[in-house]
């Protein structure tokens, strides 16, 4: 048994209380430990990624109890991919938060940040659906703290709504788990996959209810129509680095839908056939539409980016809803891309907004480094909207290519293409207002009582640059990346392989 599998959960779990209790008054020390933790996390994730690159499914039995009785962690391609993505994103965002001084504007930023990483890693690794609920709660309770970091009226208002929304979601999650346990008698994902398969259509009522309830909960996390209303307010009012980190939060919901609705309620299961596909597809279409219209109608920069994130969630879930290996591969490629692009956009916007004192989309005197910010903004906006040469273009191309089923193609293609067009128009309008029209106004002059905001140093800009570079790398190495996501998707749909590697280890061990 490879003990490194549990390291991504244990490391932040140990680090967070140490930072919270010992270094609460020493921000410098907390920064050092937090960054060191994030670097170690990234190294562990890379190591685990290498361990399963060959296509194995590794399991870790907590307390060495055999699978259906004890809790297991399962490391396969998808988990490893999400772990690496989380660790890389966390490192970039942490660098941004420290360079811009966001972490010093309230208490316990670094402790909460590590707890957030613990919850994310655990959610991606666990092979037990009740354990998934527990890790969801861990990452949520950390996100509540991060969301209201720094305080302020608007932020508390949005934070309160976010908390209430998610608490209702957690309750629904528990109802779904209760129903699932009542009808199958297990909560281990691999064991569930077997038991659900054995349930006939005539006695499938409770399982079908549980399926839909679970999808509602995960759709709430992923911000899918009709439960997407929390996202724009939350992302627009959260501190910018937190909003950038939250780019992975919607992907947790997407990950859960992908995992649960392929392994447990996957295609070919009689009891729940047709449920997920039927509801996910129209919901994704509407989500794309809301995102695009929101981008076009937004009057402030932060909500505009939040709506763009919503659109990208819709595009990704559109590919997921096809439930075929090819479409799933496209969805995973787009997932990695949209996470990095959304985070980069929030970080760039943070640099700009801080120097303009407001994120309202009206011409204001240009900032000192107008050209640099304009270039960065457009690079990232191009990435998120899906124009060449960055990876968004390839991601959308793969998604479109995968959605060729006769009935769906017209809807899916029009939604994605029109959505992209509206998003591009929205971004172009916002960018020209922010950067171009501003140059016609007189440049600000420093006075004694109103000094100019400081220039952005290399350290402040570096994380955003790095994110853009990663997007470019994702486009350049699209071949190997697509081969990997293909393998991941095939592994996901090989339900029997997953079940035997989790439950089969019983006889061997």
Partner 1 sequence: MELIVASAVGVLTAGGVYLILRLRAFAVIIGLALLSYAVNVFLFSSGGLSVNLPPILSKYGDAAYTDPLPQALVLTAIVISFGMTAVLVMIALGAYLEADTDRINIPAEDPDADGDADAAEGRAS
Interaction site with partner 1 (CB under 8 A): 105, 130, 134, 137, 141, 144-145, 148, 150-157, 159-161, 163-164, 167-168, 170-171, 174-175, 177-179, 181-182, 187, 299-300, 302, 353-354, 357-360, 362
Instruction: Report, in Å, the least distance between residue 101 CB and partner 1.
Output: 12
Nearest residue (CB) to partner 1, 237 versus 485 = 237
**Cα dist. 249→253, 430, 483 in Å?**
7, 26, 25
Instruction: Report, in Å, the least distance between residue 57 CB and partner 1.
Output: 25
Nearest residue (CB) to partner 1, 84 versus 165 = 165
Report how far residue 316's alpha carbon sits from residue 427's, in angstroms, rounded to the nearest whole number.
20
Instruction: Report, in Å, the least distance between residue 479 CB and partner 1.
Output: 42
Question: What region, left, alpha or beta, does residue 340 occupy, with left being phi > 0 and alpha being psi -120 to 50 degrees?
Answer: alpha
Q: 501 with 57: CB under 8 angstroms?
A: yes
Q: 57 with 263: CB under 8 angstroms?
A: no
188 forms bridges with which residues in the sheet? 128
Instruction: Report, in Å, the least distance between residue 319 CB and partner 1.
Output: 33
Report how far residue 287's alpha carbon sits from residue 307's, in angstroms, rounded to the nearest whole number.
10
Instruction: Report, in Å, the least distance between residue 216 CB and partner 1.
Output: 14
Burial class (CB in 10 A: 0-12, 13-18, 19+), 383: buried
Instruction: Report, in Å, the least distance between residue 201 CB and partner 1.
Output: 22
Instruction: Report, in Å, the least distance between residue 351 CB and partner 1.
Output: 12
Report how far residue 345's alpha carbon sits from residue 235's, in angstroms, rounded to the nearest whole number.
12
Where helices occur in 238-274 by DSSP H, the ranges are 240-246, 249-259
Nearest residue (CB) to partner 1, 302 versus 380 = 302
Report how far residue 122's alpha carbon sits from residue 134's, in angstroms, rounded to the nearest whole number.
9
Nearest residue (CB) to partner 1, 199 versus 481 = 199
3-state secondary structure (DSSP) of residue 83: helix
Report how far residue 100's alpha carbon sits from residue 102's, in angstroms, rounded to the nearest whole number.
6
Instruction: Report, in Å, the least distance between residue 157 CB and partner 1.
Output: 4
Report how far residue 439's alpha carbon sits from residue 51's, in angstroms, rounded to the nearest whole number.
52
Q: What is the CA radius of gyration of the chain?
A: 22
Nearest residue (CB) to partner 1, 87 versus 163 = 163
CA angle (77 as vertex; 379, 57 as ends), nearest 5: 170
Who's near 458: CB < 8 A, 6+ residues apart?
none
Instruction: Report, in Å, the least distance between residue 300 CB and partner 1.
Output: 7
Report how far residue 352's alpha carbon sits from residue 434's, in angstroms, rounded to the nearest whole number.
9
Instruction: Report, in Å, the least distance between residue 148 CB and partner 1.
Output: 6
Report how far residue 92's alpha carbon sits from residue 73's, in angstroms, rounded to the nearest whole number.
27
Nearest residue (CB) to partner 1, 99 versus 302 = 302
Nearest residue (CB) to partner 1, 171 versus 496 = 171
Question: What region, left, alpha or beta, does residue 152 occupy, with left being phi > 0 and alpha being psi -120 to 50 degrees?
Answer: left
61 forms bridges with which residues in the sheet? 72
Instruction: Report, in Å, the least distance between residue 288 CB and partner 1.
Output: 24
Nearest residue (CB) to partner 1, 189 versus 394 = 189
Report how far residue 120's alpha carbon sits from residue 113's, in angstroms, rounded to the nearest whole number.
11
Nearest residue (CB) to partner 1, 131 versus 420 = 131
Nearest residue (CB) to partner 1, 240 versus 398 = 240
Nearest residue (CB) to partner 1, 154 versus 506 = 154
Nearest residue (CB) to partner 1, 71 versus 340 = 71
User: How many other C-beta atoms lie within 10 A of the C-beta of residue 352?
Assistant: 20
Instruction: Report, in Å, the least distance between residue 480 CB and partner 1.
Output: 41
Nearest to 487, CA basis, from 57, 122, 46, 6: 57
């Amino acid at each position: 048994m490879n003990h490194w599998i549990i390291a991504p959960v244990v490391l932040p779990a140990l680090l967070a209380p140490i930072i919270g209790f010992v270094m609460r008054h020493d921000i410098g020390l907390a920064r050092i430990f937090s960054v060191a933790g994030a670097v170690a996390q990234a190294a562990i994730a890379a190591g685990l990624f290498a361990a399963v690159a060959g296509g194995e499914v590794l399991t870790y039995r907590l307390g060495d109890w055999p699978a259906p009785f004890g809790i297991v962690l399962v490391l396969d391609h998808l988990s490893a991919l999400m772990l690496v993505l989380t660790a890389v994103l966390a490192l970039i965002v942490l660098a941004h938060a420290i360079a811009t001084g966001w972490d010093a504007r309230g208490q316990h930023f670094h402790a909460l940040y590590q707890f957030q990483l613990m919850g994310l890693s655990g959610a991606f690794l666990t092979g037990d659906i009740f354990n998934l609920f527990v890790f969801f709660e861990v990452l949520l309770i950390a996100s509540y703290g991060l969301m209201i970091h720094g305080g302020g009226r608007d932020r508390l208002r949005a934070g309160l709504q976010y908390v209430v929304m998610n608490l209702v979601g957690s309750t629904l999650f528990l109802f779904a788990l209760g129903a699932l346990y009542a009808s199958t008698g297990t909560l281990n994902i691999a064991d569930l996959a077997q038991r659900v398969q054995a349930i006939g259509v005539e006695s499938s009522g409770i399982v079908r209810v549980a399926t839909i309830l679970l999808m509602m909960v995960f759709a709430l996390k992923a911000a899918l129509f009709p439960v997407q209303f929390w996202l724009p307010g939350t992302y627009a009012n959260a501190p910018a680095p937190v909003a950038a980190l939250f780019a992975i939060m919607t992907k947790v919901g997407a990950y859960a839908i992908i995992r649960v609705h392929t392994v447990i309620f996957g295609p070919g299961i009689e009891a729940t056939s047709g449920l997920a596909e039927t509801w996910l597809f129209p919901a994704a279409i509407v989500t794309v539409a809301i995102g695009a219209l929101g981008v076009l109608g937004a009057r402030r920069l932060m909500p505009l980016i939040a709506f763009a994130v919503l659109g990208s969630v819709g595009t990704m879930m559109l590919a997921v809803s096809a439930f075929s290996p090819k479409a799933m591969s496209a969805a995973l490629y787009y997932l990695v891309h949209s996470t990095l692009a959304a985070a980069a956009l929030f970080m760039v916007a943070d640099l700009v907004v801080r120097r303009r004192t407001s994120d309202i989309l009206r011409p204001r005197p240009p900032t000192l480094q107008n050209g640099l910010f304009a270039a960065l903004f457009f690079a990232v906006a191009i990435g998120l909207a899906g124009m060449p040469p960055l990876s968004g273009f390839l991601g959308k191309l793969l998604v479109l290519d995968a959605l060729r089923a006769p009935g769906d193609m017209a809807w899916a293609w029009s939604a994605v293409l029109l959505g992209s067009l509206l998003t591009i128009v929205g971004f172009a309008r916002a960018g020209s207002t922010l950067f171009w029209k501003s140059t016609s106004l007189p440049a600000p002059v420093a006075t004694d009582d109103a000094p100019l905001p400081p220039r952005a140093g290399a350290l402040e800009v570096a994380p955003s640059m790095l994110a853009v570079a990663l997007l470019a790398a994702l486009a350049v190495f699209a071949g190997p990346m697509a081969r990997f996501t293909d393998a991941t998707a095939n592994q996901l749909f090989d339900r029997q392989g997953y079940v035997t590697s989790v439950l089969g280890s019983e006889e061997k061990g």
